[in-house]
Amino acid sequence: MMCKKRRREKNFRKNGGTILKHQRVRIFSEAELEKATNNYADDQKLGEGGFGSVYKGVLIDNTLVAVKKSKGVDKAQMNEEFQMEMSIVSQVNHKNVVKLLGLCLETKVPLLVYELISNGTLFKHIHDKGSQILASWSNRLRIASEIALALNYLHSLADPPIIHGDVKSVNILLDNKYTAKIADFGASVLLSTDKTIIAEKIQGTLGYLDPEYLMTGVLTVQSDVYSFGVVLVELLTGEKPNSISSSGEKHNIIQHFISALETNNLFKILDFQTTDEGEMDEIEDVAELAKACLNSMGVNRPTIKKVSDELAKLNDHNQKSWTQQNSNETDSLLGETSQSPRRKVDHEPMTPSQTVISLQIENYTDSI
């Protein structure tokens, strides 16, 4: 027990605990997180990536958390990635970015403790055909707009600016209200004044990776724009970036999408249906935005601010149209109710069945 205690204290000091314990970040003990995750039981595992695994935990005050635990294969590399992720997420504060709750510094590679996002990944909802959240175009458009807002914050409003470096549907989580939140900053970098980073190694996920970054090793904010374009295509088509056809051949959804858009066959490859002309116009606008984001040359892609502004405008228009349509339906219902024969209270008392019908109409009208 004494050896274990000394090991924890040594790790705590090595991981900067002496300084961090005075910062505005919660420091968790190793024992506290082991208890919260039932000693990292398999049935608590939420997901796994290059850095390690993420486990669901319940703290002693019943707060639900997600604990990111390193695989610990290359401890030096993992520690470097942890330090980078910690330095980034500890300064980020945006409603569409997953919030860091605290750290555990008693392990060789520290643990990150995030808020638990309850409804899983966007990837799961796109590719699990049983999910209903993406059945409507309005939800797809809203989620796309929220992702773009978060990226615009990282690129333009964070100080210093941040390149996420691994934008993909697996790294976008949906909370209990299905609000989108960007997660996993393991491949992220802080930007210098020249807005570019020459990477020592290529990081990211094939299918979402900017081809220009792949060829040159130069990472820019426009690399995130390309990856976001891939996510937009995924949201529109319901297809994975590099899927395999029934014949076993690789199917490049990006090329297929651009070809369909250029030959006026966009609506044949959508993952959802709509007959609303206003929505169809919005879908075409978003498809054109996605195509612009997927330009092979970063300099020719729109900035994420321009993309975010355009999506926000489309989303606002969509919400106003929905509200107006709902209002018209309500007016129609109230109009029909007001034109129905009125009873004379003094002379024609209602029967029990009439009373029930009247109450149902009043309650329904009040709820509207």
Residue 217 is part of a domain; what is its CATH number? 1.10.510.10
User: In terms of DSSP bridges, do strands 172-174 and 26-28 run parallel, antiparallel, or are they unpaired?
Assistant: unpaired
- Give the residue-averaged pLDDT of 202-222: 92
- Report the distance separating Cα 148 and Cα 146, nearest Å: 5
What is the domain-level CATH number for residue 65?
3.30.200.20
Q: How crowded is residue 301: how many other Cβ atoms within 10 Å of its Cβ?
A: 25
With bands split at pLDDT 50, 70 and 90, how would you rate the model's confidence at 243? low
Question: 3-class SS at 359?
Answer: helix
Q: How far is CA 162 from CA 20, 86, 148, 166, 185, in A?
A: 22, 13, 14, 12, 10
Q: Which residues are annotated as a binding site?
A: 69
Residue 327 φ/ψ, nearest 5 degrees? -65, -40
Place of tokens 């990472």: 219
Residues 104 and 126 in one domain: no
Residues 136 and 261 in one domain: yes
Residue 310 parent element (H or E): helix 304-338
- Give the residue-averaged pLDDT of 97-117: 89
Q: What is the pTM of this model?
A: 0.80
Residues 271 and 137 in one domain: yes
pLDDT for residue 223: 96
pLDDT for residue 190: 86
Does any domain span residue 181? yes
With bands split at pLDDT 50, 70 and 90, how would you rate the model's confidence at 78? low
Instruction: Tell me the β-bridge partners of 324.
Output: none
With bands split at pLDDT 50, 70 and 90, how would you rate the model's confidence at 252? confident
Count of the separate structural domains present in the chain: 2
Kindly tell me if the per-residue pLDDT of 274 is higher than 80: yes
Residues 137 and 73 in one domain: no
Does any domain span residue 342? no
Q: Per mean pLDDT, which range of 45-59, 73-87, 313-327 is the poorest?
A: 73-87
Burial 125-151 (b: 16+ CB within 10 A, else e): bbbeeeeeebeebbbbbbbbbbbbbbb
Place of tokens 């295509």: 233
- Give the residue-averaged pLDDT of 123-148: 93
Residues 98 and 222 in one domain: no
pLDDT for residue 10: 61
- CB-based contact 116:90 (threshold 8 Å): no
Residues 149 and 10 in one domain: no
Residues 68 and 156 in one domain: no
Write out the catalytic residue numbers.
166
Domain that holds residue 107: 2-115
Which range among 49-58, 170-179, 349-358 has the greatest average pLDDT?
170-179
Residues 152 and 38 in one domain: no
Kindly tell me if the per-residue pLDDT of 351 is higher than 80: no
Beta strands in the chain (DSSP E): 26-28, 45-48, 52-58, 64-70, 100-104, 111-115, 162-163, 172-174, 180-182, 189-190, 196-198, 218-220, 242-244, 250-252
Q: Which of the two residues, 344 and 26, has the higher pLDDT score?
A: 26
Does any domain span residue 341? no
Does any domain span residue 338? no
Residues 40 and 137 in one domain: no
Does any domain span residue 259? yes
- Report the distance separating Cα 29 and Cα 14, nearest Å: 15
- Point out the domain boundary residue: 93, 115, 137: 115
pLDDT for residue 237: 95
Residues 53 and 135 in one domain: no
Kindly tell me if the per-residue pLDDT of 359 is higher than 70: no
Residues 91 and 177 in one domain: no
- Point out the domain boundary residue: 115, 137, 157: 115
Does any domain span residue 269? yes
Residues 227 and 317 in one domain: yes
- Point out the domain boundary residue: 99, 115, 131: 115
- Give the residue-averaged pLDDT of 185-193: 82
Does any domain span residue 9? yes
The distance from CA 89 to its chain's CA centroid, rounded to whole angstroms, is 15
- Report the distance separating Cα 23 and Cα 199, nearest Å: 30
User: In terms of DSSP bridges, do strands 52-58 and 45-48 run parallel, antiparallel, or are they unpaired?
Assistant: antiparallel
- Report the distance separating Cα 251 and Cα 25, nearest Å: 45
Which range among 2-6, 331-335, 352-356 has the greatest average pLDDT?
2-6
- Give the residue-averaged pLDDT of 358-366: 42
Q: Which residues are annotated as a binding site for ATP?
A: 69
Does any domain span residue 340? no
